[in-house]
Every structure is written in C-alpha cells, then in structure tokens.
Structure 1
C-alpha cells in the first residue's frame, strides 16, 4: 500500500519552533510541512547544495552528469508530493520568512510492493544503489515489530546557517510528525560524518555501518570520499 497522509492531520502544520543565536542576534525558526508554494524553492535549495555537498554526490561529481541529477530531482519531486516533507523557515521581524533547510521525507510500509532497484544510468545506479544497500541491511519491520516507518531522501541546510544546529532541530521535528501519523520509528541512511553526528545529537542510534572502502569492494566507488567521511550508516530513532 502507498501511505497517504491522514485527513485528520492538518496540512500544513508547524511541528517545532526554536531559537538560535546567529551573528550576535536571536533568530526565531520553525519546522513545518513543506507546502506547495515552497516546492520550487526547496527543490532549488536541494539541487544547489545537496548535490554539491553530500559526500557521494560530491565525489562522484554528480553535477557533471545531467541525467543522474535529473533522476535525483525526479525522486525529490515525486516524494514531496506525498506532503510529508519538512522545511525549516526563519520568521523575520517584518513578517517575511526565509527558507533555511529541507528534509525530504516519505513513509515505507510493510505491504509496499518491493522491487529491486535498477537504473540504466550508471551514476544514478551507483549513488542510489549504495544508499539502497545500506537501507536494506536491516529489516526494520522485523527489528522493531512495526508495519511502517518514516525515512528520508535528503537533508540539507543552507551554508550560511550551518553550525547553528538547524539539522538537529529538523530531525527533532520528526518526533511530533511521527506521533501525529501513528508511526513508531524513523530511520535514515546518513552518508556523511557531519550528518551522522547531527543525527546522534538528535537521539538517533546506529543500526548498521559500512565503510566506503567496503562499498567500493561491492562496486560503489566514490573516489576520495574518505576525505570527508569513512562510512555510511543506517540510523534510527524510536518514537516513544
């Protein structure tokens, strides 16, 4: 079955509010549902920063392969139509708002028809194939005794806001979201040491880890990726 956001869960909803100190001032931010009016801006943010900064994308040089970029953008576009993804927005004093982060989210159900990942695009096959391998390393349904879980296809914070714990706060917003959706577990493949550290701060625990050297032995080669991070991890958070 394809998970559909329950009509009992208001859309849009603000799931989390917080403040941070930045440039000597206090900024007020909120994490809310990604609404249609922000779809284009969110996709542009992902296309500009995720493709450039996420280690496997960076070291395989995805931006040199338009068809692979198109595959990734199609995945994001299809996923955000589920109306489960989140954005972090700064509320300005003049009433305007600024998009500072995006997390592309979806729900995987036990009854979903699973088909092995395949792609004729070699770069996309390597990128998504590596994530798919890690994601399938643990049977989350059996491990947690659940019939569905929340997962992600990308988390990005604009460079000017990095170092302010924005990523951690976006991840924390999954807790009220999951509670509203009746979901007991959220799990994600974190491909960068930085995002792994952020996830740990947000309460996520390691379920599976594989080094990029081991991934290379399986055919998923990202030359130089070890300069940024040594491994890819499947991490999960149980929702109390």
Structure 2
C-alpha cells in the first residue's frame, strides 16, 4: 500500500518562515524538482514577493516510510533524499532551518522521528549540529562491491543519522 499524506495536513502549508540575507544575482533554476515532491510533504525554501512564494532557493525531499524503525520504537519515520541549498543562498543557515521544519511537519503527520542518509561532509556536520546522531555508517568501498559507485563523493562513507522528536 502506498503512503498518502493525510487529508488533515494541508498541501502548501508553511511550516517555518524566516528572513535570509539579501544576495546579488539570481538563484539557479532546478529542473524537475517538482516530481520529487509529489507526496506533498517535502520542505522548500522560497524567496517572497509581497508575501507570496517567488523563487525556489532550497529544498529537502522528504518521504514517509511504513517500515519499522526499531531503534526509536516506532512503526513510521520521516526520511529524506537530497537536502540542497543553492550556492547563492548558502551561509544563511537555510539547511538548519529545513531540519527544524521537520519537527512541525512530523507533528502534523503523527510521526515521532526522522532518519536520513547523508553523503556529504557538510550535511553530516550540519545534521550533527542540529541534534542528529549517527545510527549507521557504510563505506563507499563496501557499496562499490555491490554495484553502487559513489567514488565521486568527497567523503569515504555515508552516514545514517536520526533524531526522535518530543512533542508537548
């Protein structure tokens, strides 16, 4: 059975709003990102013009899985694929803000924890700073032996990192 966003969780909900620093230039266009957010639960950061979303500057593709995440003692958890902040908008803590936005998103979905595989050093460090702990680590050489070539990555390992939310 395919997971579906509950009707009680509105599409287009703003989970967090903040003011980033102004930058010169235009952000690069991201092609086909819309196909990744078809479930209606991904997180995105837009510039605003007159209070309305304008240009996409960052996104974090999130997915709700039905598999049991035994470490946290839950039957569902939020995971993601591809936390991306465009170069023109880096250095503003946007990635950290997207991590923070997972908590109200999970609360609305009735999900108690999140876990993500991080492949870049910067995202591994950021996740740790945001309270995520390392749950597992897999070397790229081990993955290459199974046909997954990640030799282009700057880090030697992928890290599964997670956190459990405590809702009031």
TM-score by length of structure 1 reads 0.60
The runs of 5 or more residues in structure 2 that have no matched partner are none
Gap change, CA 1:16 and 1:221, over 3 Å in 2? same
Mapped to 1, the partners of 2:23 and 2:70 lie a distance apart of 46
Gap change, CA 1:224 and 1:89, over 3 Å in 2? closer
Task: Decide which structure has the larger Cα Rg and report it.
Answer: 1
Do 1:101 and 1:157's aligned partners in 2 also have CA atoms closer than 8 Å?
Answer: yes
Higher relative contact order (CA 8 A, sep 6+): 1
The counterpart of 1:163, out of the listed 88, 91, 98, is 91
Gap change, CA 1:8 and 1:219, over 3 Å in 2? closer
The counterpart of 1:145, out of the listed 73, 76, 84, is 73
What residue number does 2:164 align with?
238
The counterpart of 1:190, out of the listed 86, 111, 118, is 118
Deviation at 1:211, TM superposition (A): 2.5
TM-score by length of structure 2 reads 0.83
* Runs of 4+ off more than 6 Å: none
Mapped to 2, the partners of 1:199 and 1:46 lie a distance apart of 26
| DSSP 3-state at the match of 1:17 | coil
Do 1:193 and 1:230's aligned partners in 2 also have CA atoms closer than 8 Å?
Answer: no
- Write 1 or 2 for the structure with the bigger share of helix: 1
Do 2:134 and 2:161's aligned partners in 1 also have CA atoms closer than 8 Å?
Answer: yes
What CA RMSD, in Å, does the superposition of the two structures yield over aligned residues? 2.5
Further displaced range: 182-191 or 11-20 = 11-20
| DSSP 3-state at the match of 2:149 | coil
Gap change, CA 1:218 and 1:171, over 3 Å in 2? same
Mapped to 1, the partners of 2:9 and 2:118 lie a distance apart of 28
Do 1:45 and 1:158's aligned partners in 2 also have CA atoms closer than 8 Å?
Answer: no
Mapped to 1, the partners of 2:131 and 2:5 lie a distance apart of 25
Deviation at 1:219, TM superposition (A): 4.0
